[in-house]
Amino acid sequence: MSSRESILGTVSSRVVCRMHCMTRLWRFFRRCVRSRGLMQ
């Protein structure tokens, strides 16, 4: 039981980290596109 809970915790933390990374990359991408549009 405890081992299963720890595994679930590690998986959830990995998913949260991945989601956070994706949101940061998406914001950076949106900012680059916006700046490029302003340049044109």
pLDDT in tens, the chain (40 residues): 689 989 999 999 999 999 999 999 999 999 999 998 887 6
Alpha helices in 1-40 (DSSP H): 2-39
Q: Provide the residue range defining the domain that includes 5.
A: 1-40
- The reported pLDDT for the residue numbered 1 is 65
The whole-angstrom separation of Cα 13 and Cα 9 is 6
Number of structural domains the chain divides into = 1
Kindly report the average pLDDT of the chain as a whole number: 92
pTM of the model: 0.57
Residues of the chain with pLDDT > 90: what percent?
75
